[in-house]
Amino acid sequence: MGGPGDPPEGTPEGAPAGGEDEYRSVVFDESFVRAARLQEFSAQERIADHAPAVRRRPPRHRGLSRQALILVLLIAVAFGTAIYMGVRHPYQTPVAQPPEPLRMTVIPLAPQTAVPGATSPEDLYANSPAAQFRIGADGITLPASRRTAHFSDSQVVTALTTVKDYLVESSLDPEVLTGGATRPVRILLDPQQLDQFDQSFDHPTADGRHAPTGWLVRFDPSVQLADTKIRVQGSLQAAEFDSNTLEVIADHTLVYALKPTGSDEKADASLFTVRRELHFRFDRDDLRMHQAELVVSYVQAGPLACSEDSVDQLRPLLAGQTAKAGGPAGTDPYATGSATALCGSLATSAQPTV
């Protein structure tokens, strides 16, 4: 006969000796029972509904663990801080300074004698200080570019190239020279200088700020080019103005062969000389947009009559014409240095010998 804890029939065959249950070590605590996916119906439920012995319990919805909540909170704080610092960081990007208004000086040079003339422009050039000058854009040569402390070699090249383009458009383009176009020059300027540029052509005045001849070379319609092969010689120099600004100084002498508009081929031509010293500045936006800030324009031009207004257009004296002396001493536009008078006398040595 079995013991009190044994089945009435005794220990089943093959069961562990001593009545030990092999599943006795498994603990079915309350949490284990609650986590079970299957639940047994009660006897009353099975009798009443004739339902199966078990039913499937819906899965328990567990919330995020504490560690997960902390991680989500840290990510949210970091993201919010990044947005705040991006919008209101203490190190604001420096605001670009507006360009200075162009300061310009145009000095007419009056001849001391009658203006020399010849039928052939080539003869005039050959017997003048411009005999060795190059023709057109070839006379505007770029120096060997050198990087600066804050600007790369390519940025310096861009500034020099932009200045050369400005010189070509403003002093060699026939349409600009004859007063028929301004756009080729205008598009090369910093947009913040366009109001001053436009006002100079709409309402030219001799105030050192609004003279068309300070921006470009433009002749009175009464004269025309006798030769399109304009002679040019000069130099370009680039250097830093400050850590955010590159400066280029252009100093060029240009010599034009002119004659009266509508005259025949046998009419005498004469030479007209313009020396332009231009100061350009570039910030990084200007370099990127291939534009320039023209801040200084210093021009000497002759032969001109000092009595003529040279603000709007240049009205050259042509072959055989004379003018009263305009200044206390002769001024040579081929020589370096700056004239000090508002009107000077054109040195005899600056004229061709014919």
- Direct distance between the N- and C-terminal alpha carbons of the chain, in angstroms, rounded to an integer: 154
The dihedral region occupied by 32, where left means phi > 0, alpha psi between -120 and 50, and beta the remainder, is alpha
At a CB cut-off of 8 Å and minimum separation 6, what does 354 contact? 116, 117, 118, 123, 124, 127
Largest CA distance in the chain: 156
Beta partners for residue 273, in sequence order: 255, 302
Q: How far apart are CA 180 and CA 324, in angstroms?
A: 30
Residue 96 predicted with pLDDT over 50: yes
The dihedral region occupied by 133, where left means phi > 0, alpha psi between -120 and 50, and beta the remainder, is beta
Residue 340 class from Cβ within 10 Å (0-12 exposed, 13-18 middle, 19+ buried)? exposed
Higher pLDDT, 213 or 94: 213
pLDDT for the residue numbered 114: 93
pLDDT more than 70, % of the chain: 73
Predicted confidence (pLDDT) per residue in 279-335, tens digit: 999 999 999 999 999 999 999 999 999 877 788 899 999 999 998 654 444 566 676
pLDDT for the residue numbered 112: 87
Q: How far apart are CA 329 and CA 221, in angstroms?
A: 30
Q: How far apart are CA 284 and CA 265, in angstroms?
A: 49
Question: Closest Cα partner for 106 from 346, 341, 348?
Answer: 341
> DSSP secondary-structure letter at 328?
S
Residues 258, 318 contacting (CB under 8 angstroms): yes
Residue 344: pLDDT band by 50, 70, 90 thresholds? Answer: confident
Q: How far apart are CA 141 and CA 173, in angstroms?
A: 17
- Supply the pTM of this predicted model: 0.71
To the nearest whole number, what is the mean pLDDT of the chain? 83
- Count of C-beta atoms within a 10 Å radius of residue 12: 9
What ranges make up the beta strands (E) of 71-160? Answer: 103-111, 134-135
Q: Is the peptide bond before 328 cis (omega within 30 degrees of 0)?
A: no
Scanning the structure block, which residue is given the tokens 């005259």? 263
- Mean pLDDT for 146-175 is 95
Q: How far apart are CA 256 and CA 105, in angstroms?
A: 20
Higher pLDDT, 239 or 308: 239
Higher pLDDT, 256 or 144: 256
